[in-house]
């Protein structure tokens, strides 16, 4: 298991996301294939705040869900059997937004793997700020056998 915490460079060895779309700054807890806790420091200079919304920046809900999905991807893709593969979003269920997330907030991203079998997984995620739930959702992922992180295909 990797040494914790995982910083951005460590995370980028597990998932393919890069700035400006890497939405997890650090992984502070990790049990590969079971659970992970990530941290996202929300800052005013992030590109989405230019237009969402001018004069009243609010983190878009879809980006909160994406941050959960990236944390989930780390939890799953940290397993040896999936290392180097590309995990893709397959669905979002039971998603509820509970509070706004603003610049200056620290988003705590907690995910638990509910099911992981072959190419398919289901993960429950909750993101919170200061203990208040901001968003919760069940995320489905698929890991195509022939897709690798660099964008090519594997012969495996």
CB 109 within 8 A of CB 37: yes
Q: Radius of gyration over alpha carbons of the chain, in Å?
A: 15
**Which residues belong to the active site?**
52
Q: What is the DSSP string of 62-125?
A: HHHHHHHHHHHHHHHHTSGGGTTB--EEEEEEEEEE-S---TT-EEEEEEEEEEEETTEEEEEE
* Sign of the alpha-carbon torsion through 106, 116, 144, 152: positive
User: Among residues 73, 108, 114, 75, which one has the least CA distance to residue 93?
Assistant: 114
Q: Alpha-carbon distance 107 to 1, whole Å?
A: 24
């Amino acid at each position: 298991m990797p040494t914790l915490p995982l910083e951005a460079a460590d995370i980028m060895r597990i998932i393919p996301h890069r700035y400006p779309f890497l939405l997890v700054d650090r992984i502070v807890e990790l049990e590969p294939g079971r659970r992970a806790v990530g941290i996202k420091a929300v800052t005013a200079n992030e590109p989405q705040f230019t237009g969402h919304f001018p004069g009243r920046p609010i983190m878009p809900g879809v980006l909160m869900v994406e941050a959960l999905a990236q944390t989930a991807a780390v939890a799953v893709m940290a397993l040896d059997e999936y290392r180097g593969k590309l995990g893709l979003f397959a669905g979002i269920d039971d998603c509820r937004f509970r509070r706004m997330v603003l610049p200056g907030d620290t988003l705590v991203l907690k995910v638990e793997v509910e099911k992981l079998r072959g190419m398919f997984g289901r993960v429950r995620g909750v993101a919170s700020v200061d203990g208040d739930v901001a968003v919760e959702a069940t995320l489905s992922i698929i890991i195509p056998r022939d897709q690798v992180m660099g964008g090519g295909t594997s012969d495996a």
